A and B are shown apart, each in its own frame.
Chain A
């Protein structure tokens, strides 16, 4: 062998070695860079090599790994029956495996789902068999699948349980799925429904122009719809008002678009709305009638009264000389009766008008209300030498005209029923809770027996003769009505000779509903 041949052979060997080394390096770098954990086992199942991903995934390090029997690795964590099964098969039956699924609960990293590929490789260079074990951690994917499956089940159970009828249509408007509510509401069965073009469903009952319009828009303009109102007279179930929501959903799993159509049957609601409209119309009408009645009463009922009173008085005036004292007394009774009747009619009207109209709710400054009342009542207060004491008030909400009337009625009541002392009225108010305020109007008047505490708030209820105290007995009834339409309560504490204290509550929030509201 000449030097040249030797050189060539050397060169070839070197080349082969280079190629081999390169192949090995390539193999090793493949092993080290693949993201999946890889193990290289020798014929005795001792670990020859693992890649970085294996260390990272299974939280073991090189020292305890290389040269260790796989089943002993990491405190025998890898002594897994299914793995033994697999490796036995590989060794004995000389068989490779793909996608061998295995689950195991590792001490350090918990429950894992793995997909194993096992491949025997006879390495000529070392003259022995090695097993390449690639482990794919599919725990996440399994979880996602479970979640997906759950989501799908969840979605399906939503569809099946919602009370609204739902239809799932494919891109050709054929019915893919409907829920029970749909079958129940529209009286169709599964057989005639699934796979049917929606317009053909139930003897073409669903071929509704407005529905076609909606679905065309959904398909062509790729637009979703909310609260699309539709009315239709169905053969079997009659006239229905419906509210439709349509939503396009692109389903990646089946690679096509579906349309979810939710149908709300608002027939009953519409009917109820109609009824409410009708009811409020009736209410308005009856209110107008009441107003008219009040007008007629104030005019037509009083005219005859004036005739009675007028002519008895004219009789007295003109025939004075021919009438004796009895006749004059009778005439007085007749006139007095007519005058009182008129007062009653006016008061009754007044009472019926409290709260009959829609009121303005405003924030009320009680001090300015009381000052205004004191100015109005200046004469009475001076004459009776009355004192009205008050200090601070919380802000209240209500109809100011009515509140003023309430306060004025109570103040004038206290002055009217004064004892032999000069009247003193003490007004106090404090917040009861966040929503209402408790007022008290305390006087030093004549008071009354406890048993009348409720009676005195009744209309035309009087505790004294009209000779002793004038008035029709409307004042406190009006007070009660005003307090009650503001959502409050009124009561009184009193004893003969010890004065009376009237208590009532009024709202401290603007969120109140004043009673007897009409839409007028």
Chain B
């Protein structure tokens, strides 16, 4: 699948997809979307980039090992659950703050942090599988 068109388009496609995946992740609480779907989109973005340009550029671009990203996601999700203990409410109770940044009200919450954790786990796990499968010719 090493066509010139594909190789030229892939970086743009990938960056657009990753951007879109973050958009989908963040809108998830009110509109269709969320961490799981966002994660799948980002994972397919990296898979496409890997097919087009080879695995090592993807690994370089990701910088961290994808499994490390997944582990970090799991960690974040746990942290989001544990935060509730500091305000004396049961495990995984959603906590919300609505700070005003530049006059815009932001809704920050532990469920959002949790969703980001889900996103990272899905991206990391699926990307690492896809990349490992794509790597075959190089060894």
- A and B associate in one complex: no
Interface, chain B (partner A; CB < 8 A): none
